[in-house]
Amino acid sequence: MSYRSYVAIGDSFTEGLNDPLLADPPVVAGQVTRYRGWADRVAERLAEQEPGFAYANLAIRGKLIDQIVESQVPQAVEMRPDLISFCAGGNDLLRPGADPDRMAKKLASAVRTLRGSGAEVLLFTGMDPRDTPIMRVARGKFAIFFMHVRGIADLYGCRLVDIWSLQALRDWRAWSADRLHLNAEGHRIVAGKVLDVLGVPSDDWRMTWPAREKVDARLKRREDVQWVREHLAPWVGRRVRGTSSGDDLDPKRPGLTPLS
């Protein structure tokens, strides 16, 4: 199927953290690095097949599902694209008291609205958190929500990208130093899977990682301590303050414009 336009909505996963657009982004105080990510990679491939292909990415890091539904969904509907991708819920599920059933009802209502615009809708399960200590305790909630996502995809005739079973992402070499976001290689793998679901030939997601040497236990402990100091502590601090890394940020591609 050929798509002439595509709008991506969601949080940091769809914004593209941590896949810098530049191989060596400059370090400037107060500057927000522009990220590429799987959605940009998919759009680039789709643009090769359709002259004049237009793309918008409304995703902003840290957003909760209610915020995405309230702000990004109406914008996407107004643009009337051929294809809309919607991935959300991870930020909600990491918070105490998250209710996956309520979240699913919110998602279903939004998907009904998106499908009503005539667009093809792409939904996602998320990564199985069993290998991530901070997220493992909420694995049950993740599983319940993503089972709902599967049901919603079936009910409304959406295409589903199953990240939960994507084995290539089980290796830490697909993840950035914060252990919560994919790196460039991880985003490349996801883009390959998305393209495959859309019927565009791609085997990138079928890759297997070469064997690696066993990591020294002392080095691993030092890395864990560094991760707590540089990534976990700031994340917990934002939760306590009720702030988000995406506060005051605008979408990187707010308009549905041709992709050069």
Q: Which domain holds residue 101?
A: 5-207+214-258
48: which 2 tokens? 């090769």
Q: What's the average model confidence in pLDDT over 59-82?
A: 97
159: which 2 tokens? 């295409």
Residue 195 CB burial class (10 angstroms; 0-12, 13-18, ≥19) = buried
**Higher confidence at residue 234 or residue 10?**
10
State which H helix or E strand residue 77 sits in: helix 73-79
| Strand-strand pairing, 54-57 and 253-258 | antiparallel
User: What pLDDT score was predicted for residue 240?
Assistant: 63
139: which 2 tokens? 């694995």
Residues 140-150 pLDDT 10s: 999 999 999 99
User: Residue 23 CB: number of other CB atoms within 10 A?
Assistant: 6
Residues 151-188 pLDDT 10s: 999 999 999 999 999 999 999 899 888 878 999 999 99
Residue 217 CB burial class (10 angstroms; 0-12, 13-18, ≥19) = exposed
User: What pLDDT score was predicted for residue 29?
Assistant: 47
**Higher confidence at residue 248 or residue 28?**
248
Per the structure, the count of domains in the chain is 1
Residue 86's alpha-carbon distances to 115, 119, 171, in angstroms, are 12, 12, 25
Rounded to the nearest 5 degrees, what angle is found at the Cα of 223, between the Cα atoms of 221 and 227? 115
Rg of the Cα trace of the chain? 18
Q: Is the pLDDT of residue 57 over 50?
A: yes
Q: Is the pLDDT of residue 138 over 80?
A: yes
Residues 202-224 pLDDT 10s: 877 887 888 877 767 777 677 76
- Which of 199, 135, 140, 197 lies closest to 166, judged by CA? 197
- Strands in 120-124's sheet, in edge-to-edge order, are 159-161, 120-124, 83-87, 5-10, 54-57, 253-258
Phi-psi region of 107 (alpha: psi -120 to 50; beta: other; left: phi over 0): alpha
DSSP letters spanning 12-72: HHHHTTT-BSSSS----TTPPPPB-HHHHHHHHHHHHHSTT-EEEE---TT--HHHIIIII
**Higher confidence at residue 237 or residue 114?**
114
The CATH number of residue 180's host domain is 3.40.50.1110
